[in-house]
Amino acid sequence: MLERFLQAVRTDDPGAEAPAATRDRLKACFAPGAVRRMTQLGLLVGGVLRDLAPGPDDTLVYATQFGESRALEGFLESFPTPSPTLFQTSIHPSGVQQGLIGRQQAVPELFPLAGGPQLVAQAVLAALLAPAPRVVLCGGEERGTWLVAPGAASDRAFAFALALTRHREAGTQGRLALEPTADPAGTLALADWFDLLHAHRGYTGHVAPGWRLQLEWS
Amino acid sequence: MAGLVESGSVRLTACDCLTPFGNAAATHAALLRGERALRPTPVLGADGGDAVPLALLPGRALDETLPPAWLPALQALLAPLAGGGWGTARRPVCVTSSNFGIGSLYAFHRHGDAAQAAHGTPHTAVELLRRTLGWGENVAVFSHACVSAHLGLLHASRLVAAGAAESVLVLAYDFLSPFVTGGFHALKILNAELPAPYQDRATGSIGLGDGAGFAVLSPTGGDLVLSAQSLHNEMHHFTANRPDGAGFAAVLAPVVAAAAGRRLWLKGHGTGTLEAGRLESTALARAFPGAPLVSWKGSLGHTLGSCGLVELAVAAAALRTGRTPGTVGSGSPTFTDTVALAPFATPDFAGVVCASNAFGGAHGALLLSHA
């Protein structure tokens, strides 16, 4: 069994908040002037990472199914004179890089994952396999506009970050584990994972073929 | 501090690639002959635009087709692994790319065909591939621009080392589209000039190429071993490195330690941009004094998220044959005197350090050596 202990959890559920409102709400989390070109996902992820940001010995795992949907939409719309700014902003894993670059916060290992129904399982697996003493597992989505209908963008915005350690410590808030099983099926969507974290709800179930996830709160 | 070294016994039990020249053996042979796959091509495909150096697979247009042209190309590449039970818990797959099916999303926006959008995201592109190849659902998807392949290799190594998998298939692919070429052209680093990696000249430029590669990692078997892997992320600027080269030095430090003084040659990232080329070649020369340095992107173009695996497959072919292609397309003067412009023999070398860089000051490096 692979396991780590939750030392801190941060979530942000902005509901139907517009990107401009998110920018205004979270601008204090970033250096003056840094938020002007940040995406909603960059703001949300940067916000939850504000006090959980990885240190020089930590591993960072980042999960998003769709990434920078609005930058992607804007870049596509900019043709035939493509925007260089929207191009670089649309590239995975810009959402987590925006805040860290703004803070000039070097990270040794960054594992950005994409994917669908197996995304949570694979991101947790990457976090639990990392040898670093502390792992920060974060992720989220931003709500797209015209790419939502064809299924190429999220219809919901959210962000989360967990600080995970190898050992139980004073103040440990919970436990996260993956156990190998013989079960051939299982999924857990990123939005459902976020809802568990946001509500501090426990979970035990198959999240990928051969893997059962346990999320326990102290 | 750079990412931790994975020392020990993760074996490369199969590895191949696909470039415009063909598989790893054909690509290795073409590079030894000094051939360039890059050709002047309109940057926006059917919509025209400036001619820029692109290396497309033979017969493949820049504009995406329906079904996507990369699908049969990947089927052919992976045919030797068919029926291997991939995608199960004990034989998982790591798919890595920077762009996945983005050419289809561009085509959807350009022409309005909803069928193109059906595989335009990382997940849906990989799902199309998974179903076509008959894999199970245990597929991890990594995307970190041009170091993507290094992440898949490191994660796969950890699965093997932890006993969580008996073998892992790592696939990396990126196929060009107007989305990507238009973006790099807008950044003004993809222009009419052919790339000349590590050459000290007035203007830098890159070329872009189609590419795909795979590796099977296992605890035993094979004649080559991944004896060290390292990552580092500067988080200094989206499209520039720290001017002191600290990011390059950080990712190399654990590999230097693992190399333990063995005689190595170096396969750098070397896209053809000036500042990054200067920083990288200087850092490599400091870390591995006297070791010959090559880049093959002057011929193959930059194959983006797949470059780490495409070039690993060519490096493996070079180790096995004892002949390493030189830095095709470059000339003197070079940033350091360690840049090898011509092919050289490698029977006295213990292995090769392969390095890649990406947006955000991301770095990946690995040491591939004889088992």
- Summarize the confidence of residues B193-204 as an average pLDDT: 97
Q: Which residues of B touch A66 (CB under 8 A)?
A: 121
What does the alpha-carbon distance between residue A207 and residue A185 come to, in Å, rounded to a whole number?
A: 8
Is there a contact between B164 and A150 if contact means CB atoms under 8 Å apart?
A: no
Q: Which residues of B touch A93 (CB under 8 A)?
A: 143-144, 360
DSSP string, B124-140: HHHHHHHHHHT--S-EE
Residue in A77, A104, A125 nearest the CB of B235: A104
Q: Which residues on neighbouring strands pair with residue B17, listed in sequence order?
A: B213
C-alpha gyration radius of chain A: 17
Q: Which residues on neighbouring strands pair with residue B93, listed in sequence order?
A: B139, B169
Is there a contact between A210 and B90 if contact means CB atoms under 8 Å apart?
A: yes
pLDDT tens digits for B343-364? Answer: 999 989 999 999 999 999 999 9
Share in percent of chain A as helix, strand, coil (round to 5): 30, 30, 40
Number of H helices, E strands in chain B: 11, 15
Q: Find the closest chain B residue to A111 by CA distance.
A: B151
Q: What pLDDT score does A33 carry?
A: 85
A contact test, residue of B94, B119, B144, B191 with most A CBs within 10 A = B144
pLDDT for A8 beyond 60: yes
pLDDT tens digits for B285-300? Answer: 999 999 999 999 999 9
Is A97 an 8 Å CB contact of chain B? yes
- Provide the percentage of residues in chain B whose pLDDT is more than 70: 98
Least confident of A98-107, B1-10, B15-24: B1-10
Q: Find the closest chain A residue to B102 by CA distance.
A: A72
- Summarize the confidence of residues B308-330 as an average pLDDT: 98
Average pLDDT in chain A: 96
Residue in A77, A82, A185 nearest the CB of B186: A82
Q: Find the closest chain A residue to B188 by CA distance.
A: A84
- Summarize the confidence of residues A125-146 as an average pLDDT: 97
Is A75 an 8 Å CB contact of chain B? yes
pLDDT for B7 beyond 80: no
pLDDT for B37 beyond 80: yes
How far are the Cα atoms of A54, A128, A183, B16, B323 from residue A163, in angstroms, in the given order? 9, 12, 29, 38, 47
For β-strands B51-55 and A203-208, DSSP reports them as unpaired
Q: What pLDDT score does A187 carry?
A: 95
pLDDT band at B1 (very low <50, low <70, confident <90, very high): very low
Q: At what angle do helices B122-133 and B70-78 cross, to 10 degrees?
A: 50
Cis peptide before B333 (omega within 30 of 0): yes
A contact test, residue of B63, B138, B180, B248 with most A CBs within 10 A = B138
Q: Which residues of A touch B183 (CB under 8 A)?
A: 75, 82, 84, 87-88
Tokens at B358, concatenated: 């990406």
Phi, psi angle pair for B143, to nearest 5°: -145, 105
What does the alpha-carbon distance between residue B81 and residue B215 come to, in Å, rounded to a whole number?
A: 10
Smallest Cα–Cα separation from B172: which of B208, B144, B197?
Answer: B144
Is there a contact between A109 and B106 if contact means CB atoms under 8 Å apart?
A: no
- From the CA of A32, how many Å to the nearest CA of chain B? 16
3-state secondary structure of B247: helix
Phi-psi region of B88 (alpha: psi -120 to 50; beta: other; left: phi over 0): beta
Is there a contact between A92 and B122 if contact means CB atoms under 8 Å apart?
A: yes
Residue in B117, B188, B360 nearest the CB of A101: B360
Whether the model clears a pTM of 0.95, i.e. scores above it, the answer is: yes
pLDDT band at A183 (very low <50, low <70, confident <90, very high): confident
What contacts A70, CB < 8 A, 6 or more positions away? A19, A39, A40, A142, A144, A145
Phi, psi angle pair for B155, to nearest 5°: -65, -45
What does the alpha-carbon distance between residue B231 and residue B148 come to, in Å, rounded to a whole number?
A: 11
Is A185 an 8 Å CB contact of chain B? yes
For the beta carbon of residue B260, count every other beta carbon within 10 angstroms.
9
CB burial of residue B187 (10 Å; 0-12, 13-18, 19+): middle
- Summarize the confidence of residues B77-104 as an average pLDDT: 97
pLDDT band at B5 (very low <50, low <70, confident <90, very high): very low
The distance between the two most distant Cα atoms of chain A, rounded to a whole number of Å, is 57
* Residues written for chain A: 218
Q: What pLDDT score does B221 carry?
A: 94
What contacts A198, CB < 8 A, 6 or more positions away? A11, A13, A158, A160
pLDDT for B213 beyond 50: yes
- From the CA of B189, how many Å to the nearest CA of chain A? 11
Is A55 an 8 Å CB contact of chain B? no
Q: Find the closest chain B residue to A69 by CA distance.
A: B121
Q: What pLDDT score does B4 carry?
A: 44
3-state secondary structure of A140: strand
Is A22 an 8 Å CB contact of chain B? no
Residue in A88, A108, A209 nearest the CB of B138: A209
DSSP string, B83-140: TS-TTSSSS-EEEE-SSTTHHHHHHHHHH--HHHHTT-SHHHHHHHHHHHHT--S-EE
What number is the ipTM of this complex? 0.97
pLDDT tens digits for A49-101? Answer: 999 989 999 999 999 999 999 999 999 999 999 999 999 999 999 999 999 99
3-state secondary structure of B143: coil
pLDDT tens digits for B106-139? Answer: 999 999 999 999 999 999 999 999 999 999 999 9
- From the CA of A198, how many Å to the nearest CA of chain B? 24
- From the CA of B325, how many Å to the nearest CA of chain A? 31
How far are the Cα atoms of A142, A153, A181, A197, B159 from residue A17, in angstroms, in the given order? 10, 16, 40, 20, 40
pLDDT band at B105 (very low <50, low <70, confident <90, very high): very high
DSSP string, A70-102: HHHHHHHHHTTS--HHHHHHHSTTHHHHHHHHH
Is there a contact between B117 and A114 if contact means CB atoms under 8 Å apart?
A: no
Handedness of CA A174, A178, A181, A183 (dihedral sign): positive
Q: Which residues on neighbouring strands pair with residue B221, listed in sequence order?
A: none
What does the alpha-carbon distance between residue B4 and residue B255 come to, in Å, rounded to a whole number?
A: 10
Q: Which residues of A touch B364 (CB under 8 A)?
A: none
Is there a contact between A108 and B3 if contact means CB atoms under 8 Å apart?
A: yes
DSSP conformational letter for A28: G
Q: What pLDDT score does B20 carry?
A: 98
Q: Find the closest chain A residue to B45 by CA distance.
A: A80
Q: Which residues of B touch A45 (CB under 8 A)?
A: none
Is there a contact between A150 and B122 if contact means CB atoms under 8 Å apart?
A: no
What does the alpha-carbon distance between residue A72 and residue A94 come to, in Å, rounded to a whole number?
A: 11
What does the alpha-carbon distance between residue B89 and residue B96 come to, in Å, rounded to a whole number?
A: 18
> Are the C-beta atoms of residues B138 and B88 closer than 8 Å to each other?
yes
3-state secondary structure of B249: helix
Q: What pLDDT score does A32 carry?
A: 84
A contact test, residue of B238, B357, B363 with most A CBs within 10 A = B238
Q: Tell me how far the alpha carbon of residue A29 is from its chain's centroid.
A: 17
Q: What pLDDT score does A53 carry?
A: 82
- Summarize the confidence of residues B8-16 as an average pLDDT: 90
Phi, psi angle pair for B71, to nearest 5°: -65, -55
Long-range CB pairs of A192-199 (<8 Å, 24+ gap) are A192/A120, A193/A120, A193/A160, A194/A11, A194/A13, A194/A139, A194/A140, A194/A158, A194/A159, A194/A160, A197/A9, A197/A11, A197/A160, A197/A162, A198/A11, A198/A13, A198/A158, A198/A160
HSE-up (13 A, CA, CB side) for residue B355: 35
> Are the C-beta atoms of residues B265 and B292 closer than 8 Å to each other?
yes
Residue in A57, A65, A129 nearest the CB of B1: A57
Average pLDDT in chain B: 96
